[in-house]
Amino acid sequence: MVMLDILYSTMPENTKAAVQQGLKFLNGGKDNGEEKEEMQVKPRIYSFAKDSDFIYSAFKQTHNIDLSTEQLHWWKFIALFMDLGPDTTFCNLINLRKKVKTGKATKEENEIAHEMGDAFEIPEFDTRTLEEKEIEMNFMNQINSATRYEEGQK
């Protein structure tokens, strides 16, 4: 819903098609070609929000681009993002996360990840369907309504 709200000025009637087109846009204009059920879930190794400072410095180091002043089309940003230099802190961090999450890290790499604490950890994506999220939201709304009703009775 957040993606649709950001990408569309008015909510489209066919949300399924809108989501597919939104994902295609975010994927640099490329079709994934796979349905969600067939996609292999990979561990999350970066977060644009959490790693923003590292991404900013990696763009400056690799491409000499100041993301705070440049206006890049999303597709150009993604192309440059995929080509960030291997010597950047960001790339070293995602390589370490990938090794740890796939069980291929050495003892020393696991210790480094542990010492990094919260800076290392990235929450996994919510893989629930839209219907599952709506059911939970409706349930929580009912609980909140009941709680507000009870508080009003006191």
Does residue 15 have a pLDDT over 70? yes
Whether residue 51 is found in the same domain as residue 25: no
For residue range 17-29, list pLDDT tens digits in order. Answer: 888 888 888 888 8
- Separation in Å, CA 106 to CA 15, 86, 115, 116, 120: 45, 19, 14, 15, 16
Write down the pLDDT at residue 9.
86
Whether residue 17 is found in the same domain as residue 52: no
Write down the pLDDT at residue 37.
44
For residue range 121-153, list pLDDT tens digits in order. Answer: 887 766 677 888 888 888 888 877 766 666 666
Whether residue 22 is found in the same domain as residue 84: no
Whether residue 9 is found in the same domain as residue 81: no
The parent domain of residue 92 ranges over: 46-126
